Amino acid sequence: MRILAIISGEYGRRHVQNIRENGPQDWIIADWQAPAVLPPVLDYPEDYLPHIFPTADLLLSFAEIKGVAELLPDIAGMCGAKGVLVAVDNQAWLPQGLERQLHGWLADMGVGCATPKPLCSLTETDYGIALKKHMPYDNAQIREFAHYFGRPELNITVDEKTKTIAKAEVKRDAVCGCTRYVAERLIGVHVDEAIEKAGLLHHHFPCLASMVKLDDFNQDTLMHASGHILQDNIAGQIAPYRDIRYIVPGKRSE
């Protein structure tokens, strides 16, 4: 698959580096540095674009300024992309109104689009849009990407004698590489401590999602939402091995 990634800062560069290092070897990945500043309204998008882009099947937007979203239909048309994936790890990068417009513009072109919020909510069938809400999609290019990168998925092996994590295989990494980082450091951790440890490691990586509280996430942040996604994947697998104690209140003394 041929991929064109749009970046505007360190956030995007780290994503592209992880994809290149840990994605399929036959993927061809190019990147384009978007303008650092764009006007509020782009009357002539072509003024901010190069004359040519490399051919691509999938367009990834890791841009950290909202104006880049207005350029995406033109870029998709120029490179021939059939799928567009836009990271929403900060609501300011793609406000909801502009997000709806982008989906409409690309749909009119016959181009699939996914805007996962946070980016690590992406699976091969849907992506997060709010707390406990997901949007389905049907696009072969985005689906192929999501097979390798998106919602963290580990295959955990527990040593039943010591109740420690013996192996943590990465089946699907977060685009930023956080899942791989956490998996390597969970080896030897007791199952009763693994969920909390994973949360700390997730923040130490550090997670690149925003710490702004959002109404559609019940005043939680995208960074915390991202951490919960990873912790939930781990918790489900180690639950049979954990020593969970319940406190039963006694009767009130006279």
Could you tell me the pTM of the whole model? 0.91
Among 54, 43, 115, 101, CA closest to 80 = 54
Q: What is the pLDDT of residues 133-143, one digit of tens each?
A: 999 999 999 99
- Spell out the domain ranges in the chain: 2-148, 153-241
pLDDT band at residue 252 under the 50/70/90 scheme = low
CA–CA gap between residue 103 and residue 112 (Å, rounded): 8
pLDDT band at residue 250 under the 50/70/90 scheme = low
Hey, which residues does 170 pair with through a beta bridge? Answer: 154
* 8 Å CB contact between 207 and 227: yes
Question: What 3 state SS string does 72-111 have?
Answer: HHHHHHHHCCCEEEECCCCHHHCCHHHHHHHHHHHHHCCC
Report the share of the chain in percent with pLDDT over 90: 85
Q: Which CATH superfamily is domain 2-148 in?
A: NAD(P)-binding Rossmann-like Domain (3.40.50.720)
Query: What is the pLDDT at residue 243?
Result: 79
